[in-house]
């Protein structure tokens, strides 16, 4: 695992939004993952997690869809933190190299590998405690435009006043 | 993988083979010189299905390609993996 001294906890600035119940990162979502983020010294974003039986598929094995949430959330949050914009996942491609097991510690690590043509390209790996890579994922994200935010999220003018900056990116 | 004018760069077979050999050697923790082109990957020391899939996944990232799963599971040797990269790279240009 990475040297703890070179890691910085990250407070996600949108967690206090009253309508925010993200399955991946909101502590208010009682069935969600409530992921906590860590900034690594090299700029990547990481999250440590031990999955419980609540997220199992086969007995003792973490559901692949839930692991996909982990990496999708991490990559999306990294974009929001580093580029100040919210984005929808367009493509999420994941190679499940080994099954993740309930009760064991894992670390997911994400980086942004490209920006252009209206999309952002990202990568994320999930590592076991011995740094063995058990999952590799790559994804593309499209920034959410202001009108999309209004249509899909039902934002009112007060919401826009608070979080409109996430959609004023002139991308996509 | 692009050139300075933005067009995709042609993949050089020797360079691809060398890069894939390095990836395989690093994953299997063996010497790259011990991986001839016709070596059956799953018979290399330390090889198993998970490690071979890691090599393929790293190749996809490194060359910015996406292989079809059916093609991945057909690959037996390093030369065949090189062929997969070159074929996919040509198709994406």
Which option is the CATH number for A4-166: 3.40.1280.10, 1.10.10.10, 3.10.129.10, 1.10.3720.10?
A: 3.10.129.10
Compute CA A50 distance to the chain's CA centroid, rounded to the nearest angstrom.
16
Count of Cβ atoms closer than 10 Å to residue B89 Cβ:
18
CB contacts of A138 in chain B (<8 Å) are: 60-61
- Alpha-carbon gap: B69 to the closest alpha carbon of chain A (Å): 10
Which residue in chain B is spatially nearest to A124 when comparing CA positions? B61
pLDDT in tens, B17-75: 999 999 999 999 999 999 999 999 999 999 998 999 999 999 999 998 999 989 999 99
Q: Across the interface, do B61 and A98 touch by the CB < 8 Å criterion?
A: no
Third-level CATH fold of B13-91: 1.10.1200
- Alpha-carbon gap: B33 to the closest alpha carbon of chain A (Å): 24
**What is the spatial distance between Cα B81 and Cα B83, in angstroms, rounded to a whole number?**
5
End-to-end Cα, chain B, rounded Å: 10
Which residue in chain B is spatially nearest to A135 when comparing CA positions? B54
* CA atoms in the 13 A half-sphere facing the CB of A25: 23
End-to-end Cα, chain A, rounded Å: 37
Closest CA to B27 of A110, A1, A132, A129: A132
pTM over 0.90: no
ipTM of the complex: 0.72
Q: Hey, is B68 helix, strand or coil?
A: coil
């Amino acid at each position: 695992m990475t040297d703890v001294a070179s890691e910085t906890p990250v407070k996600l600035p949108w967690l206090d939004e009253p309508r925010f119940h993200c399955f991946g990162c909101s502590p208010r979502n009682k069935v969600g993952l409530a992921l906590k983020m860590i900034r690594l010294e090299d700029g990547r974003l990481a999250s440590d997690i031990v999955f419980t039986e609540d997220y199992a598929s086969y007995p003792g094995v973490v559901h692949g869809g839930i692991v996909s949430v982990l990496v999708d959330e991490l990559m999306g949050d990294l974009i929001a933190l580093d580029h100040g914009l919210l984005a929808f996942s367009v493509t999420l491609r994941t190679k499940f190299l080994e099954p993740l097991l309930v009760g064991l510690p894992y670390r997911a690590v994400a980086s942004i590998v490209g920006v252009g043509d209206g999309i952002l390209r990202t990568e994320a790996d999930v590592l076991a405690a011995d740094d063995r890579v058990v999952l590799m994922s790559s994804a593309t994200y499209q920034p959410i435009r202001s009108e999309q935010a209004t249509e899909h999220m039902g934002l009112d003018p007060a919401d826009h006043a608070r979080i409109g900056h996430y959609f004023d990116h002139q991308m996509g | 993988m692009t050139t300075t004018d933005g067009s995709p760069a042609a993949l050089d077979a020797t360079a691809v083979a060398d890069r894939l050999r390095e990836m395989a050697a690093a994953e299997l923790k063996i010497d790259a010189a011990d991986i001839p082109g016709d070596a059956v990957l799953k018979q290399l020391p330390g090889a198993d299905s998970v490690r071979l899939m890691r090599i393929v996944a790293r190749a996809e990232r490194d060359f910015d390609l996406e292989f079809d799963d059916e093609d991945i599971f057909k690959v037996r040797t390093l030369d065949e993996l090189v062929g997969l990269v070159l074929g996919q790279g040509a198709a994406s240009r």
